Amino acid sequence: QAKKLSDYKAPEFTITDVELSFELNPQATKLTAVYQLKSASGKAGTLILDGQELKLLSVSLDGQLLNADCYQVTAEQLILPGMPAKAQLELNIELNPQANTALEGLYLSNGAYCTQCEAEGFRRISYYLDRPDVLARFTTHIIADDTAYPALLSNGNLVSSTLLPDGRRHVTWVDPFPKPSYLFALVAGDFDCLKGSYTTGSGREVALEFYVDKGNKNRAQFALESLQRAMLWDEQRFGLEYDLDIYMVVAVDFFNMGAMENKGLNVFNSKYVLADQQSATDTDFFNIESIIGHEYFHNWTGNRVTCRDWFQLSLKEGLTVFRDQQFSADMGSATLNRIDAVKTIRTAQFAEDAGPMAHPIRPQQVLEMNNFYTVTVYDKGAEVIRMLHTLLGQDGFRKGMDLYFKRHDGQAVTCDDFVNAMQDANGRDLTLFSRWYQQSGTPELKVHSQFDAKKREFKLLMQQHTPATADQADKEPLLLPVRVELLAEGASLPYLLEMTETQQEFSFAVSQKPVPVLLADFSAPVKLQYQYSMDELLQIARDAKDGVARWDAIQQLWQIQVKAAIEANSSGAEYQLPAALFEFYRQLLVKPLDDLAFTAELLTVPAYDMVAEQFDEIPVQTLVVALQSFQQQLATQLAEQWQLCYQSLQAEAYQYQQQQVAKRALRSVCLHYLAFVAGKDELLRQQYNSSDNMTDQLAVLRACRSASHPLFAELMSAFEQRWNKDVLVLDKWFSLSASYPQPPVFNTLEQLTAHPQFSWQNPNRVRAVFGAFYQQNPAMFHSEDGKGYQQLADVVLKMDAINPQVASRLVTPLLSWKRYQSARQQQLKAVLQAMLTRDLSNDLYEKVSKSLS
């Protein structure tokens, strides 16, 4: 049943033009679909269309109604033998959007109609050649009640709108750009619309329209401005302009993912559109700008040039994530953005490589495509693009992009086509580099150094090795760009090394023994091993040019503390952090760096998942205890400094603006430690009650949660009362409740799912509760009695019947049973085996069966 990349065949028939007419009705939407078909060979043959959960009413060929014995309908296909080389096919179909809780195809979100077609959702709207290499021109008619659904939207340009005598309206949209079915979209509803405009460099006036739930118009302003910034940035950085007269964004509450780049009509999860200072945090604002950018950038990298098949998903996603990261870096702090990306790779992506779902950024085999919208395809994919950028330089990369569009505009292509464009535009052989697309797993880079004082020579001896992964036993050496700085005599010398072999030696002429800063900017997505002393790490943290390397030195310092704490723990002693670390922190607090956000980042003890990733077998409880003790020690030892630093950072009237964001980040870190110190109730309560924005309020709740502070319950109930009507904000309360690191949380989880605002049908709610439970509450999720695992397993099974995509994402933390000690292994295996005895969706079956084989 699994599909393989090696089985790719160009389609025998293609569809050049599509005309869709929808008569909307919650339980019985009528669709007439007319296709102009053409065979590639010019010969007649059998046409096989994809379709799922459709009620087919009739089929006509070139205007003739077909008898039911002229075609065959199965659960997944419509088979039409003897199709002429050129034909017009008409299908009449009935849909039930109200019953669609999978949120794929046409469904209802709070009474509004909307669609999600990527990857293979169009086949739940109509029988079709539902594959990205079939590009057709779409015309869409929507007929619906004019009062109930004043907004009737689809891709492209609105060409007509007519009020019918029966009170319904008939609108027609034409999209001039041929596109694959996954980019189709339809929306119908009663929204508020925020309007703006943008004039492109070549003078095209583009109408920008944001459709949001009634009453939310003011909360869309930031998203609109973000879009304008993204449009300008893509012109300046890549010379890419928008190509239609209108760009629409619709915010819906029911959505499986973040957002979708449908041509001219993006559909967004409302949490990535709506924000104001009272209801959204600095992080929410940041995410909105980044995702608005991401979907906009897809217009070229995804829509104008699309994927030949779904194995090539990283062609558009890795590249577009790289582009949105560059955009965010230019809008804010490049270093902070890079640190965030590194965290994602080191936690989620390395974990994926180490687990049963390991795959290359271009997977070779897929059962359910929705399972491959992964941090490997997206974020490691972006790292691979970033390495090209590092190797070719910004100008070389731009030349490659220009050639890519020149060659492939309007086509459905492969990752090889992209690398070839980069290669040809730069006259550089990238054959070896292409291995990144085939090989899964996390390379380990071991480095030793030698200094020869007589010869005045410093040598780096490097070895790379990629351990076997669940999907692939044998690994080959990769091309690794390794950025290095040599620190000596107060100076830093930068180098870019290219490692191509299993083992390699690099020498440098120096007069003094330097401290090497390795893998600066995280120039390749690998695990680095080098024996640094504590002093060397502190020196890097102070003197390296590259901010990421400075932050990384502190991370490595903490990893050393964690190992030492585990050793102390096994001999029954409580581990005390070394004086040098307190001293480093003390100095940072007394004299913060110019970049306050970076200072905040340095002052933060790494999160559980960041530390856990270093272990083949994760010592859960010991890690949780050690990290908690580190925070307690820092809090107590530096109590006065946290307080002074906190006081020096007075709150000002809220603006989402870089300096302010940075200041709030540092204040929040101080507050976090202060919550671990006795006698700070007044200060915590004061910040909660007097702040004019969500960032500062949430910081109080988070600090109280982390320290299991007695104020937590009181402030949480105030928060719930304040935001009860605003469920998008209430999600923050759901998440905080579910991540309380004490045993009563198991009762809390039950209360949360019984809360009047909770809904199993809404993915945001389910993720707010259970995503937070396993991502932010390791102590309870991994509780000794296996209760956390059982909880999540029950939820996954319940969700699988409602929404398989959401179920399949939630199951992830259960799959990695091999990473834990034997008691936990047994518990995890037992819940997975029990799951496998049930009737599972493809999505869930693929993951659970792989984890047990």
Q: What is the footprint of Zn ion within residues 319-348 (CB under 5 A)?
A: 320
Q: Which two tokens stand for residue 578?
A: 């070394």
Please name every residue paired with 171 in a beta bridge, in sequence order, or none if there are none. 142, 161
Position 507: which residue type? S
Residue 370 contact, options Zn ion, ligand ARG, none, Cβ 5-8 Å cut-off depending on partner type: ligand ARG
Q: Residue 152 corresponds to which tokens in the numbers above? A: 């009737």
Nearer to ligand ARG among residue 220 and residue 806 (C-beta): 806
Report the residue closest to ligand ARG, judged by CB.
373
Q: Which one of 78, 208, 231, 259 is in contact with ligand ARG (CB under 6 A)? A: 259
- Of 251-259, 546-554, 674-682, 786-794, which part binds ligand ARG (CB under 6 A)? 251-259
The stretch among 255-263, 476-484, 632-640, 754-762 that binds ligand ARG (CB under 6 A) is 255-263
Nearest-angstrom CA–CA distance, 481 and 503:
14
**Which one of 257, 565, 649, 665 is in contact with ligand ARG (CB under 6 A)?**
257
Burial (CB count within 10 angstroms: exposed 0-12, middle 13-18, buried 19+), residue 513: middle
| Residue listed under structure tokens 């490589």 | 353
x/- mask, Zn ion, residues 348-377, rule CB under 5 A, reads ------------------------------
- Residue 6 CB neighbour total at 10 angstroms: 8
Say if CB 436 and CB 354 are below 8 A apart. Answer: no
361 binds ligand ARG (CB under 6 A): no
Catalytic, 76? Answer no
* Helix (H) / strand (E) containing 412: strand 412-413
Residue type, 677: V
Residue from 256, 270, 641, 668 in contact with ligand ARG (CB under 6 A) = 256
* Min dist. Cβ of residue 319 to Zn ion (A): 9
What is the rounded distance in angstroms from the CA atom of residue 840 to the CA atom of residue 117? 22
Determine, following the binding rule CB under 6 A, whether residue 119 of this chain makes contact with ligand ARG.
yes
Smallest distance from ligand ARG to CB 840, Å: 18
- 18 membership: H or E segment, kind and range: strand 13-23
Amino acid at 213: D
Q: What is the dihedral of CA 96, 97, 99, 101, to 10 degrees?
A: 150
DSSP letter assigned to residue 782:
T
Stretch that binds ligand ARG, among 195-203, 252-260, 449-457, 788-796 (CB under 6 A): 252-260
Select from ligand ARG, Zn ion, none the partner in contact with residue 337, using the beta carbon and a kind-dependent cut-off of 5 to 8 Å. none
- Compute the distance between CA of residue 81 and CA of residue 41 in angstroms, rounded to an integer: 16
Contact letters (x/-) for ligand ARG, 273-302, by CB under 6 A? ---------------------xx-------
Segment near ligand ARG (CB under 6 A); pick from 207-215, 250-258, 418-426, 625-633: 250-258
Q: How far is the CB of 768 from ligand ARG (least distance, A)?
A: 19
Among residues 314 and 762, whose Cβ is nearest to Zn ion?
A: 314
- Taking the least distance from each CB to ligand ARG, the nearer of 274 and 635 is 274
In angstroms, give the least distance from the CB of 174 to ligand ARG. Answer: 23
Task: Considering only the C-alpha atoms of the chain, give the largest distance between any 2 of them, rounded to a whole number of Å.
Answer: 96
Name the residue among 31, 44, 32, 38 with its Cα closest to residue 16: 38
Interacting span for Zn ion (CB under 5 A) from 202-210, 313-321, 445-453, 646-654: 313-321
Q: Which stretch binds Zn ion (CB under 5 A): 10-18, 316-324, 620-628, 705-713?
A: 316-324
Among 290, 328, 337, 370, binds ligand ARG (CB under 6 A): 370
Q: Which residue lies nearer to ligand ARG by CB, 119 or 730?
A: 119
Closer to ligand ARG at the Cβ: 168 or 294? 294
Which CB sits closer to ligand ARG, 296 or 781?
A: 296
Query: Would you state the structure tokens that stand for residue 738, as one six-digit string?
Result: 């579910």
The one catalytic residue in 295, 368, 383, 485 is 295
Segment lying near ligand ARG (by CB under 6 A), choices 30-38, 257-265, 534-542, 666-674:
257-265
Judged by CB under 6 A, does residue 118 bind ligand ARG?
Answer: yes
Nearest alpha carbon to residue 788 among 620, 625, 611: 620
In angstroms, give the least distance from the CB of 421 to ligand ARG: 22
- CA 705 from chain centre, in angstroms, equals 26
How is residue 221 written in tokens?
């302003």
Q: Which of 189, 763 has the CB closer to ligand ARG?
A: 763
**Shortest Cβ 268–ligand ARG spacing (Å):** 9
User: Per CB under 6 A, does 260 bind ligand ARG?
Assistant: yes
Q: What are phi and psi of 205, to 5 degrees?
A: -90, 115
Judged by CB under 6 A, the chain residues 787 through 846 that form the site for ligand ARG are 805
- In the complex, the smallest distance separating the C-beta of residue 34 from ligand ARG, rounded to whole angstroms, is 27
Of residues 315 and 707, the one with the C-beta less far from ligand ARG = 315
| 50 φ, ψ (degrees, to nearest 5) | -85, 145
Sheet holding 192-199, edge to edge: 192-199, 205-212, 246-252, 265-269, 259-260
**How many residues lie near ligand ARG (CB under 6 A)?**
14
Residue with smaller CB distance to ligand ARG, 90 or 368: 368
Q: Which is nearer to ligand ARG, 314 or 693 (CB)?
A: 314
Query: Are the beta carbons of 290 and 327 closer than 8 angstroms?
Result: yes
Residue 322 near residue 338 (C-beta atoms within 8 A): no
Please name the residue that has the structure tokens 């120039």.
523
Write a three-state SS string for 438-488.
HCCCCCEEEEEEEEECCCCEEEEEEEEECCCECCECCCCCCCEEEEEEEEE
Asked if residue 324 binds ligand ARG (CB under 6 A), the reply is no
Give the containing element (helix H, strand E) for 845: helix 842-852
Note whether 328 binds ligand ARG by CB under 6 A. no
Q: DSSP letters along 618-657, please?
A: --HHHHHHHHHHHHHHHHHHTHHHHHHHHHHS---S----
Q: Which residues bind Zn ion (CB under 5 A)?
A: 317, 320
Residues that bind ligand ARG (CB under 6 A): 118-119, 256-261, 294-295, 317, 370, 373, 805
Residues with a catalytic annotation lie at 295
